[in-house]
Amino acid sequence: MRRTYGFLLAPLLMVSAFPAEVSEPLTVSGCSISNTGYLNDLAAEYERETGQQILVRGGGSIVGITELGADRVDFAASCKAMGPEDARTLNFIPVAWDALVFIVNPANPVASLTPQNVRDIYEGKIFNWKALGGADLPVKSFISSPVGMGGVGETLSHYFLNGNWPQSTVNSSMQSASVALWEQMVERTPEGFASTGFDSAQKRNVKMLAVNGVVPSRATITSGRYPYRRYLYLVAAKDCKPQVARFIAFALSRKGQKFISSCGSIELAAIK
């Protein structure tokens, strides 16, 4: 499922060939998975190399894309793919791989789910961890509204929920649209459950569950044994500032991709 984005990258590479000009700080908001996984560190590395400051904040993919459309930020981070409404003005540029993972508190003895278990949790049919071999505790599934679930909801819908989006049920706890909060809630909630991205989950004090016995890891994701993968994007206006284009070109460069890999994220070339 590797795609070619050369027609999007050519203008960025042309801009990057000119001497860099340091501007006022750039701002980026959006996907918390990206921010925790690689973007905070990549922005700091870029500032060390160029002097260009980049202010990173979260909020979720939909927040980032909305703020970019309203000119409140210079670019956005997203784990949500480009929609028809975005195509006219925005470029979605893949910079790393990620995978949808399911997380529980480290004290939870449950280790593995099936796709049917996932559907049953999100449909409210499993509401006690005993049904999955765990303790006699209620399942507390952290979600937001379907509109707010962004790339996580999109990936859940595609891989697990037969095209449907997560809805509020008897076992769910409505939270903000940012997976950073869901991850933090699972860290401190023994009965907690959430979906998030591999790139950020590996940096939290949570347990990532196996699916059909396959534990998500760099090796299983890149090989396809754990198949629930998707891109992490940087999103820029088609008429973005040259400084934004230079940063994205750095993220796609050999040095940038090597740095992204050193953060624990999966660089583009790792999956053919």
Residue 146: per-residue pLDDT: 80
Asked if the structure places residue 115 within a domain, the reply is yes
Asked if the structure places residue 80 within a domain, the reply is yes
Asked if the structure places residue 1 within a domain, the reply is no
Do 192 and 106 sit in the same domain of this protein?
yes
Which pLDDT tens digit goes with each residue over 7-45?
Answer: 355 555 554 544 456 679 999 999 999 999 999 999 999
Q: Percent of the chain having pLDDT more than 90?
A: 86
Asked if the structure places residue 257 within a domain, the reply is yes
Do 156 and 183 sit in the same domain of this protein?
yes
Single residue among 207, 223, 239 that ends a domain in this structure? 223
Do 202 and 240 sit in the same domain of this protein?
no
Run of H or E including 26: strand 26-30
Do 142 and 216 sit in the same domain of this protein?
yes
Asked if the structure places residue 157 within a domain, the reply is yes
Q: CA 49, CA 72: separation in Å to the nearest integer?
A: 26
Do 17 and 84 sit in the same domain of this protein?
yes
Using alpha carbons only, what angle is made at residue 191 by residues 143 and 217, rounded to the nearest 5 degrees?
75
**Structural domain boundaries, residue 215:** 99-223
CATH code of the domain in which 137 resides: 3.40.190.10
**pLDDT > 50? residue 51:** yes
Compute CA 66 distance to the chain's CA centroid, rounded to the nearest angstrom.
16
Q: CA 168, CA 26: separation in Å to the nearest integer?
A: 37
Residue 2: per-residue pLDDT: 40
Least trusted range by pLDDT, from 157-166, 174-183, 225-234: 174-183
Do 109 and 20 sit in the same domain of this protein?
no
Residue 147: per-residue pLDDT: 81
Domain count, the chain: 2
Q: Where are the alpha helices (DSSP H) in the chain?
A: 6-16, 32-34, 40-50, 61-69, 115-122, 150-159, 179-188, 198-201, 218-223, 242-252, 254-262
Do 47 and 153 sit in the same domain of this protein?
no
